[in-house]
Amino acid sequence: MHETVPFKKATSKSKVPLNKKQPFFDKQGTSINTSRLEHDMHPIVYAGDVPNTREGYNESISRYCYKGSLDKKLVKGKIVLCDSIGDGVAASEAGVVGTIMQDAYYEDVAYNFPLPASHLGLSDGLDISKYVNKARKPTATIFKSIQREDDLAPCVVSFSSRGPNPITSDIIKPDLAAPGADILAAWSQGNTVTGLQGDRRVVRYNIISGTSMACPHATGAAAYIKSFHPTWSPAAIKSALMTTGHINPAKANNPGLIYDAGEEDYVRFLSGQGYSNKQLRLVKGDDSSCSEVTKEAVWNLHCPSLGLSVRSGHSITRVFHRIVTNVGSPESSYKAIVKAPNGLKIKATPKALRFNYVGHIKSFVVTVKAKLGETAISGALIWDDGEHQVRSPVVAHVSL
C-alpha cells in the first residue's frame, strides 16, 4: 500500500471492414469483453433500420435498442449499432451476437454486457453509421478487451457525484476521491458477471465501477491508519487522508498535522445550521440544547478544506478559524505556503506555527478573498516543515 496504482481502463476494439476484399478499418471503444465473437466477421445493421413494426415500433424507438423494438428476424446472428448506451439485454433477447453503442456519455468507464459489445463516442459511431449505410454487405466483429493506461488518471470520472453540497455549500465535497473505475476485485459466484437476464457467466473475479469499488479503497486506507493510531478520531483519520493528496495510506499514516473535531464541534455546526432542540436531540440521543452552545458558522467546522460560495460576478472576503494538532516530530516548525490563481487571495495568520511536543495544539486564521468570473477557482494552503506538506484545498464557487 505504498502508492496508488493509476486508474486503468479496459477497452474493446471493433473492426469494421469496408468489404471482405478490402483492408479493414477499426474503431476502439470502451467495454469489458471476456471473449471475442465466434467466427471472424458478422453482418452489421443499424438499429433504426430494423424496427419491430409488427409491435408498432418505428425507427425513432428502435434506434435506441429498447426492449421489444428490434425485429428478431432482421437482427438474429448480426451485430446491431444502437444510438445510445444501455445494458444490452434488449438486443440480446432479440438474438443479436454483439452490440455497438454510440453516444457522448460515459466514455471514461467500461461496463460489462451480456454479449460482446463496444461503446463508442459520437465521432467514431458516425463513421460506422456511414459505413453501414454505404457498404453493400457491411460486416464487423468485436474483439476481446485489452487493457490500456488512462492518460487522464487520476481524475474524477463522469458518472461520479460532485459538489457543491446543496445543503451546506460552504463545505467542499467530496472529502476524498478513491479509485473506483474499472476495478478488478473478488466476486460472488452466487451471481453472474452482470446480474442481467440471459447472462450465465459465473466468475471468481469481476471488473466493476462505482461507490462499491471506491468505498473499500477509502475504508481500507482508514482502517490501515487506525491500526497504527488506535486513539485517533474519525475526523483525525479523515484529515490525514485529505491532507496527504490522492489516497496514499503510507503518507497518511504520518501526516504531520491533523485537523481534529469532536462532538462539541459538530453540535456547534448543527446549531449554526438552524437545528432546533428537537432535531439536535434526535441526532445526539440526549437532552442537549442549542442554547447551551455557541452557534458556529458552517465554514468554521474544523475540517481541512476551506470553501466559500460566491454570487456570480461578486467579490467576497471570508475569515476561517482552524485548529491543528501536531502528530509529527515533537519539536517542529511549519511555515505557510500559499498557492492561489488570479481571483483568489489567501493569507494565513500567523505565517508560521511552532510545536514543542506531540499533541501540541495551535490555532490560526485564514483570510480568503475571492472574485469569480467563472464557475469555480481553487488554490491551496500548505503547512510545510520540510518533511510534511499538510495541504488544505481552498475553493471558491458560484452559489447555488
Dump the DSSP string for 38-74. Answer: SSS-EEEEEGGGSB-GGGT--HHHHTTT-TT-B-HHH
Span 98-155, pLDDT tens digits = 999 998 887 788 889 999 999 998 998 999 999 999 988 999 999 888 887 777 777 8
Is residue 96 scored above 60 in pLDDT? yes
Place of cell 459505413: 131
Is residue 375 scored above 70 in pLDDT? yes
140: nearest Cα among 41, 18, 45: 41
Contact between residue 3 and residue 11 where contact means Cβ atoms under 8 Å apart: no
Domains of the chain with bracketed CATH: 8-148 (3.50.30.30), 235-398 (2.60.40.2310)
Q: What is the residue type of 381?
A: L
Confidence of residue 295 (pLDDT cuts 50, 70, 90): low
pLDDT of amino acid 24: 60
Q: What percent of the chain has pLDDT over 70?
A: 92
Is residue 4 scored above 60 in pLDDT? no
pLDDT higher for 172 or 80? 80
pLDDT of amino acid 324: 97
Alpha-carbon distances, residue 251 vs 140, 197, 223, 225, 391 (angstroms)? 49, 44, 14, 10, 12
Q: Give the C-alpha separation, 331 to 345, whole Å.
A: 30
Which residues are paired to 365 by β-bridges?
Answer: 321, 349
pLDDT of amino acid 349: 97
Task: List the grid coordinates of 311.
Answer: 454570487
Q: Give the C-alpha separation, 207 to 223, whole Å.
A: 24
pLDDT of amino acid 202: 92
pLDDT of amino acid 105: 81
Confidence of residue 1 (pLDDT cuts 50, 70, 90): very low
